[in-house]
């Protein structure tokens, strides 16, 4: 069992990026919590830039998320700051971090870590250091990071202008928003981890890969999650297709201004970040035919490159900003 876990730690973690343009550290939840900041080179020193928080999945880390999403390139192309916060790390395996998103995940939930407070502290630090546009702070995330972005929308609706969760449902009941938060939810219909159709066995990807343990929990279907979000935002019950490309189809609800809700389903895709950057374990970047890479795809399901999920997310959130005085 220990040998399997050791192999997993060495090989299964996402490809590690460089240390980022700048690393910052916060003392939070009893440990040092870093976050990495990428500022487009031609915009360095310019005040008033928007920010996209990019939250890694459970068992991942900020630097792995930086590579998997390719969000640095999206930031360079579109003129925003990409920020990669890092979840709570177990003392046993510090590089495998999780977020307290309600029902998931890991040590962050067991210790009831205040990750909402941590993200708030990150925003404060960004505002002081980079003079960001605090009316245009957005969040996206994968899996446990998607769940965390939903929690931020609930508990920080006065600071987060819009979110674009990917491959992860909301891990708690609907909440009382200070303002409606626009949401674009991106999800593969054959996701074996965050089940598109919901059920009692969401999660479990890591335990299935290792062949040990059981970390499943019940989850609502993705359409139900998005429907509840639309209801919270005061939208109508019906949605219509507003975007289609390859296997990707996005449905938009009829919502009040600045309260948009969309569901972008990727037909046949698994527990993935759509695009060319999600290559799986670090060793698979150079040799995708290795046995461990085949096993990875067996667990997370089929990839999809019909869209760049990072660009799709940015194109949605950039439309929104907090009202003056927020």
pLDDT digits 0-9 by tens, 195-237: 999 988 887 676 666 655 566 777 889 999 999 999 999 999 9
Q: What is the pTM of this model?
A: 0.90
Spatial distance between the Cα atoms of 243 and 179, rounded to a whole number of angstroms: 26
Confidence at residue 325, expressed as pLDDT on a 0 to 100 scale: 57
- pLDDT the model gives residue 59: 85
> Residue 24 belongs to what H/E stretch?
strand 22-28
**Domain spanning 2-191+202-317: CATH 3.40.50.2300:** no
Tokens of 46: 């310019």
Neighbour count for residue 250 (Cβ, 10 Å): 22
Phi and psi torsions of 146, nearest 5°:
-65, -45
Mean pLDDT of the 312-318 span? 98
DSSP designation for 323? P
**pLDDT the model gives residue 18:** 37
pLDDT at 176 over 90: no
pLDDT at residue 30 greater than cutoff 50: yes
pLDDT at 219: 85
pLDDT at 10 (0 to 100): 33
When pLDDT is cut at 50, 70 and 90, the band that residue 3 belongs to is very low
Determine the pLDDT at residue 326: 52
pLDDT digits (tens, 9 = 90+) for 232-283: 999 999 999 999 999 999 999 999 999 999 999 999 999 999 998 887 766 6
Residue 98, both tokens: 């999780």
The confidence score (pLDDT) of residue 135 equals 97
Q: Is 141 helix (H, G, I), strand (E, B) or coil?
A: strand
Question: What's the rounded Cα separation, in Å, for the pair 55 and 118?
Answer: 12
- Residues 270, 188: Cα–Cα separation, whole Å: 5
Q: If pLDDT is split at 50, 70 and 90, which confidence band does 308 have?
A: very high
- The pLDDT, as a whole number, for residue 177 is 86
Nearest residue to 264 via CA among 309, 203, 202, 219 = 309
Tell me the C-alpha distance between 95 and 143, whole Å. 17
Residue 94 pLDDT: 66
Pair of tokens at residue 315? 């194109």
User: Comparing C-alpha atoms, which of 192, 164, 143, 125 is closest to residue 261?
Assistant: 164
pLDDT, tens only, 129-165: 999 999 999 999 999 999 999 999 999 999 999 999 9
The answer for residues whose C-beta is within 8 angstroms of residue 7's C-beta and 6 or more apart is 292
Could you give the C-alpha distances from 170 to 99, 102, 223, in angstroms and in order? Answer: 13, 8, 12
Contact 203, 143 (CB under 8 A): no
- 3-state SS, one letter per residue, for 151-163: HHHHHCCCCCCEE
pLDDT bin (cut points 50, 70, 90) of residue 92 is low
Nearest to 191 by CA among 168, 160, 212: 168
CA separation for the pair 153, 177 (Å, rounded):
8
């Amino acid at each position: 069992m220990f040998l399997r876990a050791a192999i997993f730690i060495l090989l299964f973690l996402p490809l590690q990026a460089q240390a980022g343009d700048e690393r910052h550290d916060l003392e939070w939840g009893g440990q040092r919590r870093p976050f990495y900041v990428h500022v487009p080179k031609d915009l360095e020193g310019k005040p008033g830039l928007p920010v996209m928080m990019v939250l890694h999945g459970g068992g991942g880390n900020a630097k792995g998320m930086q590579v998997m999403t390719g969000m640095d390139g999206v930031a360079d192309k579109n003129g925003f700051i990409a920020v990669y916060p890092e979840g709570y790390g177990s003392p046993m395996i510090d590089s495998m971090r999780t977020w307290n998103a309600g029902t998931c995940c890991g040590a962050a939930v067991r210790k009831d870590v205040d990750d909402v407070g941590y993200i708030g502290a990150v925003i404060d630090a960004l505002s002081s250091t980079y003079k960001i546009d605090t009316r245009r702070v957005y969040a996206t995330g994968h899996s446990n990071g998607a769940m965390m972005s939903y929690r931020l929308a609930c508990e920080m609706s006065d600071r987060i202008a819009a979110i674009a969760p990917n491959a992860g449902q909301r891990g708690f009941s609907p909440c009382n928003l200070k303002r409606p938060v626009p949401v674009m939810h991106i999800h593969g219909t054959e996701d074996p981890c965050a089940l598109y159709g919901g059920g009692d066995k969401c999660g479990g990807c890591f335990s299935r890969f290792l062949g040990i343990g059981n970390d499943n929990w019940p989850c609502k279907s993705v359409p139900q999650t998005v429907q509840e979000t639309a209801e919270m935002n005061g939208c109508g019950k019906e949605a219509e297709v507003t975007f289609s490309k390859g296997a990707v189809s996005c449905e938009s609800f009829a919502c009040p201004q600045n309260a948009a809700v969309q569901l972008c389903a990727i037909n046949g895709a698994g527990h993935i970040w759509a695009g060319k950057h999600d290559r799986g374990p670090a060793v698979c970047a150079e040799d995708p035919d290795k046995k461990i890479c085949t096993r990875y795809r067996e667990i997370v399901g089929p990839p999809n490159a019909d869209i760049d999920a990072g660009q799709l997310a940015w194109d949605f959130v950039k439309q929104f900003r907090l009202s003056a005085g927020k």
